[in-house]
Amino acid sequence: MSSVALLRGFALPCTRERRRLFGMRRRIGYGALVLFVLLANTQLTSATCVDPTHVAHSAVSIFRHFDDAERETHPGLVGVRGTGWFLSPTTIVTAAHVTAGMELSTQDWKSLEIVDENDSQFIAARIQRLAGGQTEKLAVIELGRAVLNAQSAAIRQEPLVPEERVVALAYPTGRPQLVEGRFVRFGDGGKLKGMALLEMYEGENRLIIDHGASGAPIIDCEGRVTAVVSNVFTQSIAWAHREIRISTAWGMPNVVSVPVQALEEFSEAR
């Protein structure tokens, strides 16, 4: 049965299951992410139209660790992970459902772990504003202080054109991944109206953009942000007494994104 899978970041399990997954950390090098370790490399690749060094510090992994009270409210979860990119050294843009899952607000400051490749730092954060008129909005996160080595991203004002090459700078496993692809078309109805539909892949892997990649910037060949990753198209099928997820057929869009121009149409978050 076909479905659109919402990328709500990566929610980490706790208690016995958490200890079991974290025990794998010593064996695979990045534990607790074992579910996705086969979906991504841990290094930026250069086989794209964008020089990786020009965008290396413009996007980061963002991780909200739940406190004890929040874990009681969300049994089995220790936090929510997504991807964000720098509008400035003190502001990060991501998909609004990421901040909703993290339970960030416009009032209270909450600690956010920000990971740029191998560097990690904890900074107080809250929502500055929400932006956009689509079903999915963009969230601008205000930080209590500037992030070290942050590189503010350039923003493209013109809309994408069909078949234009793009890349996504995402952290699907908490590590940076530069994924190539192309813009297919804009959605013309329902929940997809006005959304930028993309085909993204790494080799034969069409699920490279997956959990943890929500909020990742879509970048054109001039290094400018054009859209922000929101959802993916997947299909679940029964196979050998279990369900597996597959992407769309080649030539079809498999990633849904919010055009960055939505930042100019913001409304205050409530």
> pLDDT of 83-117, one tens digit each?
999 999 999 999 999 999 999 999 999 999 999 98
pLDDT of 20 strictly over 90? no
For the record, the structure tokens of 183 come out as: 């813009």
Reported as half-sphere exposure (CB side, CA atoms, 13 A), residue 45 has a value of: 16
pLDDT band for 265, please (50, 70, 90 cuts).
low
CA 171 – CA 25 distance, rounded (Å): 18
Helix (H, G, I), strand (E, B) or coil at 1: coil
Question: 171 vs 35, 208, 241, CA distance in Å?
Answer: 14, 10, 31
Residue keyed to tokens 């607000």: 105
How do the residues of the chain divide into helix, strand and coil, expressed in percent and rounded to 5? 15, 40, 45
Report the pLDDT averaged over residues 237-253.
87
Within 8 A by CB and 6+ apart from 75, the residues are none
Pairing label, strands 154-155, 217-220: unpaired
Report the pLDDT averaged over residues 162-179.
91
pLDDT of res. 47 = 55
